[in-house]
Structure 1
Amino acid sequence: MSQMTAVNVIRVEKGKGSEVAERFAKPKSVHTFPGFVRMEVWMKENTEDHDELHVCTTWEDEKYFTEWREKRAIEKAKIRAEQEKNQTGTPPHNPILSTELSTYVTKVQHLPAE
């Protein structure tokens, strides 16, 4: 088994990065999922036309990440179906412009000396 990290790059309307980052401030179900190690949210500095967040989750092994993604996809589909059924008025504005997911396997890791 080797740890892996998933990095979701989220491009957001300029000036909305902190607002979107705040959505990740409170722990959600991913934090209790088997194999989850940690989450970090980074905001790229000095971008000109958009804000950019990197949501990084580290897992004990890729299989845990895959299981979490599958479970999350099912949950999101249920929520979307319920929202469509109860649709009233205009949906709220979403400042997210695009997302891109990449995964990385940990090959070398150095921890602080004891």
Structure 2
Amino acid sequence: MSQMTAVNTISIEKGRAQEVADRFAKPKSVHTFPGFVRMEVWMKENIEDHDELHICTTWEDEKYFKDWLKSRENDKAHGQSAQKPETSEEAKSNPILGAKLSTYVTLVQHLPAVEV
């Protein structure tokens, strides 16, 4: 088993990154899912035409991440369960321009030294 990290890179309308980041401020169902290690939200700096967030979740093993993707909790977290279609007004107010998911396997990790 090897830890892995999933990174969801989200392109956002310029000036609206904090609005999207705030959606991740409160823990949701992923935080209690088996194999979940941590979540971090990063904002890429110095992009001129849009903002960019990286939602990084680390898992004990890829199996847990795949289970999360298939889970009912994932559907709920992303609003896919019995949700009415967006109105044209709601779609216009959505600051997200696009997203891309990448996964990485941890090959080397250094933690802070423990003093004895």
Same fold by TM-score greater than 0.5: yes
The range that moved more, 30-39 or 88-97, is 88-97
Residue 79 (structure 1) aligns with: 82
Q: Which amino acid aligns with 2:70?
A: E
CA–CA separation in structure 2 for the residues paired with 1:8 and 1:16: 17
The range that moved more, 90-99 or 22-31, is 90-99
Secondary structure of the residue that 1:40 maps to in structure 2? strand
CA shift for structure 1 position 77: 3.4
CA shift for structure 1 position 88: 7.2
Secondary structure of the residue that 1:43 maps to in structure 2? strand
Identity of aligned residues (%): 67
Residue 100 (structure 2) aligns with: 100
CA–CA separation in structure 1 for the residues paired with 2:57 and 2:80: 22
Residue 6 (structure 1) aligns with: 6
CA–CA separation in structure 2 for the residues paired with 1:88 and 1:22: 22
CA shift for structure 1 position 96: 0.1
Verify the 8 A CA contact 2:30 2:74 in the aligned structure 1.
no
Structure 2: which 5+ residue stretches go unaligned? Answer: none
Provide runs of 4+ in structure 1 moved above 6 Å: none
Q: Which amino acid aligns with 1:111?
A: L
CA–CA separation in structure 2 for the residues paired with 1:102 and 1:51: 18
Structure 1: which 5+ residue stretches go unaligned? Answer: none
Alpha carbons of 1:17 and 1:6: their partners in 2 closer, same or farther (altered >3 Å)? same
CA–CA separation in structure 1 for the residues paired with 2:65 and 2:25: 20
CA–CA separation in structure 2 for the residues paired with 1:77 and 1:39: 21
CA–CA separation in structure 2 for the residues paired with 1:69 and 1:105: 17
Secondary structure of the residue that 1:64 maps to in structure 2? helix
Residue 21 (structure 2) aligns with: 21
Structure-1-length-normalised TM-score:
0.88
Cα root mean square deviation, aligned: 1.8
CA–CA separation in structure 2 for the residues paired with 1:105 and 1:113: 23
Alpha carbons of 1:56 and 1:50: their partners in 2 closer, same or farther (altered >3 Å)? same
Residue 34 (structure 2) aligns with: 34
Q: Which amino acid aligns with 2:33?
A: F
Residue 90 (structure 2) aligns with: 91
Secondary structure of the residue that 1:99 maps to in structure 2? strand
